Copies of this chain bind each other. A is one copy, B any other.
Amino acid sequence: MGSDWRNSPDAADYSVDELMVSVLADQFHNGDQTTNGMASFIPVAAFMLARLTHAPDLIWLASSGGLDPRPDRIPASTLEAPLWRDSIMYIDQYTDFWNFVLNGRWIKKFCVGAAQLDQYGNANNSVIGTDYHAPRVRLPGTAGLADMGSIGKKLYFWNPNHSVRSMVEKVDFRSAAGYLDGGDARQRLGLEGGPQLVVSNLAVMDFHPVSKKMRLKSVHPGTSLEEVQAKTGFDLLLPEDPVPNTKAPTQVQVDLIRQSIDPDGMRKREFRHHT
């Protein structure tokens, strides 16, 4: 099944969640190890797609607890037992999960969402508003993201609702370290890794290697540079002119997502307007 996916023609018909899944799947390679936490339908779909196509040996710790599981499809939760079915190892989280993650050699890539992301890739999942103790919106909280941000991981953000509210100049609260104030701010604290890519429903962004400011990488088919910039709360750095279009998923990729990986459409859940 994995053999013909790359030569398959671009899908005639695909939705933006499928595009995002295919872009993220590209970031995970054979021999990588990765993991997911709760409400991670897009990342889980990306891992499953990678394993069915170019990265059959991608090692996946489902729900941060079940190694190399065999779910027949994405279930209604990415944290619950149905996702970690038929694992080859159950992880004791206190003893082992954080041992594996904190150890610099393993599980180097983490794919995650954030309610707010700023121009330096700092993330906020804690509060909207400036008074932390009486916020306008109390969000779930940082969970493990504050850890992942500081311990040398490569972070791949996904954002299903690219807007001036989610892509802000400065986060209301820094739940997790991105590039802090940019430049070499991370290095000065001894922090390795950091945000690599932001894949939204409009575009793909990376970070300038020196200034660490967010930079547009490609714009999804059907969107425009102007729309992306208008829906971003800060000035995006631009790549060479013209800005390329994000590559569409292939037909095989879309078929795999729809028929094998996620026939129930769980991946569409976090999108404000289901696509």
| Chain A residues within CB distance 8 Å of chain B | 92, 94-95
Shortest beta-carbon distance, A147 to chain B, in Å?
20
Taken together, the copies of this chain in the complex come to: 2
How far, in angstroms, from A92 to B95 measured CA to CA in the complex?
A: 10
Chain B residues, Cβ within 8 Å of A95 = 92, 94-95
Would you give 3 A-B contacts (Cβ < 8 Å), ordered by A?
Answer: A92-B95, A94-B95, A95-B95
Shortest beta-carbon distance, A9 to chain B, in Å?
53
How far, in angstroms, from A94 to B92 measured CA to CA in the complex?
A: 13
Chain B residues, Cβ within 8 Å of A94 = 95
Shortest beta-carbon distance, A4 to chain B, in Å?
47
User: A interface, by DSSP: helix, strand, loop or mixed?
Assistant: helix
Residue of B nearest to A96 (CB): B95
How far, in angstroms, from A50 to B9 measured CA to CA in the complex?
A: 79
Shortest beta-carbon distance, A100 to chain B, in Å?
15
Residue of B nearest to A95 (CB): B95
Shortest beta-carbon distance, A194 to chain B, in Å?
32
How far, in angstroms, from A92 to B96 measured CA to CA in the complex?
A: 13
How far, in angstroms, from A95 to B97 measured CA to CA in the complex?
A: 13
Residue of B nearest to A92 (CB): B95
Chain B residues, Cβ within 8 Å of A92 = 95
How far, in angstroms, from A94 to B94 measured CA to CA in the complex?
A: 12
Shortest beta-carbon distance, A214 to chain B, in Å?
41
Shortest beta-carbon distance, A122 to chain B, in Å?
34
Shortest beta-carbon distance, A265 to chain B, in Å?
41
How far, in angstroms, from A92 to B94 measured CA to CA in the complex?
A: 13
Residue of B nearest to A94 (CB): B95
How far, in angstroms, from A178 to B95 measured CA to CA in the complex?
A: 32
Shortest beta-carbon distance, A72 to chain B, in Å?
33
How far, in angstroms, from A219 to B92 measured CA to CA in the complex?
A: 52
How far, in angstroms, from A95 to B92 measured CA to CA in the complex?
A: 10
How far, in angstroms, from A94 to B95 measured CA to CA in the complex?
A: 9
Shortest beta-carbon distance, A68 to chain B, in Å?
23
